[in-house]
Each structure stands twice: as structure tokens, then as C-alpha cells.
Chains A and B, each alone.
Chain A
Amino acid sequence: GESVGLHLPTLSVQEGDNSIINCAYSNSASDYFIWYKQESGKGPQFIIDIRSNMDKRQGQRVTVLLNKTVKHLSLQIAATQPGDSAVYFCAEKQNTGGFKTIFGAGTRLFVKA
């Protein structure tokens, strides 16, 4: 079936550097995408979202880019901090047998001090 996937399972960056986490999706009918952050022992926490009629959206230190042509989503974190260390999931809202939010595989981000 169609799914949301990630290119890299683990990403290690130096504190202060920018991080880029990538995600590929295959359901061209999906029109809403979300990035979640999950710290150890906690539930996923909303970071930022984007609708399919946009190609970029900025938040505080985070930017999401959407390229519908190649079905690619990315999360950019500026000036990465140790507190950013977590697993990041992209998620896709699709309507297959009902509206549902499907998660990608996840990328673990390590921030080195």
C-alpha cells in the first residue's frame, strides 16, 4: 500500500548547525502533512504542518518544505540545540477508507554538544 517513508533513519549534527530531515511520500492524493517530534518516554508532539497548496512554511527555528512534483517533504531546524535530540516523524493525512493520519518510519536526530 501507499506509505510515508524517510530517507535516513539517523542523523547526527553538531550543536549550532542546521539540521535537515527528509521524507518521501507516495500518496499523491494526500493534501496535509505534519511533522512530529517524539522524545524518549513521551508521546509525539506537533512541530509544524503544511497544506498541499503551499510549498514552504516557517515556524520558530523550523521550516517545512513540500515538493509535490517529487513527493518530498523536509524539515529544517536552524541552530540545532541539544533539546532538539529526538525522533522526528513526518505524517500524512490521507483518505483511504476514511480520513486517517499515517506516520512515516521516523528519523532519530542526535545533537552533539
Chain B
Amino acid sequence: DTEVTQTPKHLVMGMTNKKSLKCEQHMGHRAMYWYKQKAKKPPELMFVYSYEKLSINESVPSRFSPECPNSSLLNLHLHALQPEDSALYLCASSQGQVGNTEAFFGQGTRLTVV
């Protein structure tokens, strides 16, 4: 199993809503990532978890709250988002944060904030 699975694939939410994005991998990877990708732009790193601990927060606004319940799961909790937060949110995993191994990406969640 070399897949990173993200749910939901599409999400429309209002600015007062609370929602969560979910990501799952069963490759035994110990590093997991959230990226944000706007149209025609490269993915931008948001958070890195290493061994279930938050390792990097790229100065992401607090309306985005990551959570890593166990080594296979990664969530991104959303609250009070703005329309400019609409984007493709990508989850990725790799064997470790340190070391020269590639990251495997999920298909993303297309988020629209209305």
C-alpha cells in the first residue's frame, strides 16, 4: 500500500463553520505534512509532524489547527476560515522528516470557503 488517502475530496464551508480534513497512510511513515496549493502555484508547506509531534509550523494562522492522533492519521481542523483560504489542501508522508526520502502525496481536498 503506497497510498495517502485524503477525505473529503471536496468541501464547501461557510466562514462560521468548523470542519476537518483527514489524511491516512499505512506505509509506516513517521513524518506527515500538510501543504496548501493555490491555482497555478506550487504547494506551500504548512505543517510537519515527525513521530506524531508537531515539528514545523510555517507561521500558519490559528484558524488552521493540525492534529496527529497516531502515526497513520493526520487531521487539519478548520474554523472561521476566510474566502482566501480556498485552495487545494494536500497531505503527504515520508519515511522520516530527516533523511533523503521522497514524500508521497494524497489527491488533496479541494476547499471552497463561501
Contact = CB atoms under 8 A, between A and B. Distances in A.
Nearest to B105: A43
Task: Give chain B's interface secondary structure class.
Answer: loop
A43 B45 contact: no
A46 B48 contact: no
Contact of A99 (B4, B40, B41, B97): B97
Interface residues of B, number: 24
A44 B105 contact: yes
Contacts, number: 53
What is the interface residue range for chain A against chain B? 20 to 34
A32 B58 CA distance: 21
A41 B108 CA distance: 8
A51 B105 CA distance: 20
Interface string A46-68: 10010100000000000000000
Interface of B: 4, 33, 40-45, 48, 55-56, 58, 90, 92, 97-98, 100, 102-108
Interface of A: 31-32, 34, 36, 41-46, 49, 51, 89, 93, 97-106
